[in-house]
Amino acid sequence: MFLTASISVTVSFTPRLSIPAEAQGNFDIDLSATSINYPLGIVEAGDVVVNATIMNVGNHSSGPFQANLTVFRTGLLVNMLSEDFESGTVPPVGWAMLGANWMTTTSEHQSGSRCLFANQGTLPFPCILESPAVDLPISIGLTPPGYLPPWGTQCSSILSFWAHYTDTGAGQSRLDVKVMKDSTEMVVFRGDTTGSGSGSLNTSWNHYSIDLKPFSGFTVNLRFCEYQYTMNSGDAIYLDNVSLTSMTGTEVFFTDSAAISNLDSNDTVFVEFSPWTATYGDEYTIWVNTYLQGDQEPLNDYATGNLEVLDPTIPEFGTMVILPIALILPLAFKMARRRSKMRY
């Protein structure tokens, strides 16, 4: 006899804001989204049906009213800026060049067929390549009340680029990356060909990432500044694949509503919403709230929970059926008798 087993799933529930005990049951008109019953925790990709409990915690019967479902897709990354310099146009469309020129080349590139290089800037007059203005989001958007994502409420905006230098033997160079905010420059990266600085450059391509979280909520320009330490042309600095990515947090993925005609005091109703499709690799926040005109306690009007979607290609170990012991023993006895009769 072969036994099968199932993978156990631990569900999690993010409770709404705590309600003072003295505030419960002390209102005539008060509906509560008591809980999200299913699904929470980990599910397989595919159609999902949300089931929630709504309770009338007021002293009087209430209705008609509406229960609403909003599904947020969370942890989204948005590309705010991307430039690979493949067009061969210098400066690229929307960018600007100040001082001595950055130039395009096909002899050196991190990917594709082109990149930019500079070796003519001098202190204090660098070659400056300036990006278009970018609005950095200040916080995650469309956050359900009572829900705090693991990365907090302030966005991280990650500047990413590739750089290296070639040793010309004529002198040493420096690359400063600056953020322009309200006409003020701030250096966020300094790499040079002397082996010093916050991100020393190498003769091979290196990838650099800078968190611009301190600039959340501001409109900024990025400046890539090449300097020479001597008046002669020095080491050439190469730049490729610049990108700026922000974690904007959430987007509304699905909405639905259900109408309830009436609910007596202290009664509950299970509300089942229309199905929606969960995609593998995504994470969701489920938000259920009630809407009743004149509701006197808004703090208990919603419930939230988190949902993670498993890869549907991962095999399970079967399905386990749990039977009461009163059924298991007689069943085992009958099977033993049957095997005994087959021997004779």
Residues 264-291 have pLDDT tens digits of 888 888 999 999 999 887 888 888 888 7
pLDDT at 199 over 70: no
CATH number for the domain harbouring residue 328? 2.60.40
Q: Does some domain include residue 37?
A: yes
**Contact call for residues 283 and 74 (beta carbons, < 8 A):** yes
Sign of the C-alpha dihedral computed for residues 17, 21, 23 and 27 taken in this order:
positive
Considering only residues 250 and 19, tell me which one the structure prediction assigns the higher pLDDT: 250
Q: Does some domain include residue 60?
A: yes
186 & 148 share domain: yes
Residue 163's pLDDT is what? Answer: 93
84 & 120 share domain: yes
3-state secondary structure 126-152: CEEEECCCEECCCECCCCCCCCCCCCC
Residue 144 CB coordination number (10 Å) = 20
Q: Does some domain include residue 70?
A: no
108 & 202 share domain: yes
Q: Does some domain include residue 10?
A: no
Predicted confidence band of residue 222 (pLDDT cuts 50, 70, 90): very high
Considering only residues 344 and 301, tell me which one the structure prediction assigns the higher pLDDT: 301
Q: What is the DSSP string of 294-326?
A: T-S-GGGSEEEEEEEEE-TTSPP--------HH
pLDDT digits (tens, 9 = 90+) for 43-52: 888 899 999 9
115 & 50 share domain: no
166 & 274 share domain: no
Give the integer Cα–Cα distance in Å for 55 and 208.
Answer: 53
- How many domains is the chain partitioned into structurally? 2
195 & 316 share domain: no
Most confident of 89-93, 189-193, 328-332: 89-93
Q: Does some domain include residue 14?
A: no
Give the integer Cα–Cα distance in Å for 214 and 219.
Answer: 12
pLDDT digits (tens, 9 = 90+) for 104-149: 999 888 999 999 998 776 666 788 999 999 988 765 554 444 444 4
Give the integer Cα–Cα distance in Å for 202 and 310.
Answer: 41
Residue 99's pLDDT is what? Answer: 77
Q: Does some domain include residue 71?
A: no
Gyration radius of the chain over CA positions: 31
β-strand pairing of 65-83 with 302-310: unpaired
Domain boundary among 249, 276, 292: 249
238 & 308 share domain: no
Domain boundary among 249, 273, 295: 249
**Enclosing domain of residue 29:** 21-64+261-333
25 & 126 share domain: no
Give the integer Cα–Cα distance in Å for 42 and 47.
Answer: 13
* Two structure tokens written together for 133: 């203005």
pLDDT digits (tens, 9 = 90+) for 58-75: 888 888 888 899 888 876
β-strand pairing of 41-44 with 236-260: unpaired
The pLDDT of 204-217, averaged and rounded, is 87
CATH number for the domain harbouring residue 120? 2.60.120.260
132 & 245 share domain: yes
The predicted model scores a pTM of 0.55
Residue 283's pLDDT is what? Answer: 82
pLDDT at 340 over 50: no
Q: Does some domain include residue 323?
A: yes
86 & 39 share domain: no
Q: Does some domain include residue 342?
A: no
85 & 37 share domain: no
Give the integer Cα–Cα distance in Å for 306 and 46.
Answer: 16
100 & 208 share domain: yes
Domain boundary among 198, 220, 249: 249
Residue 64's pLDDT is what? Answer: 86
**Contact call for residues 294 and 63 (beta carbons, < 8 A):** no
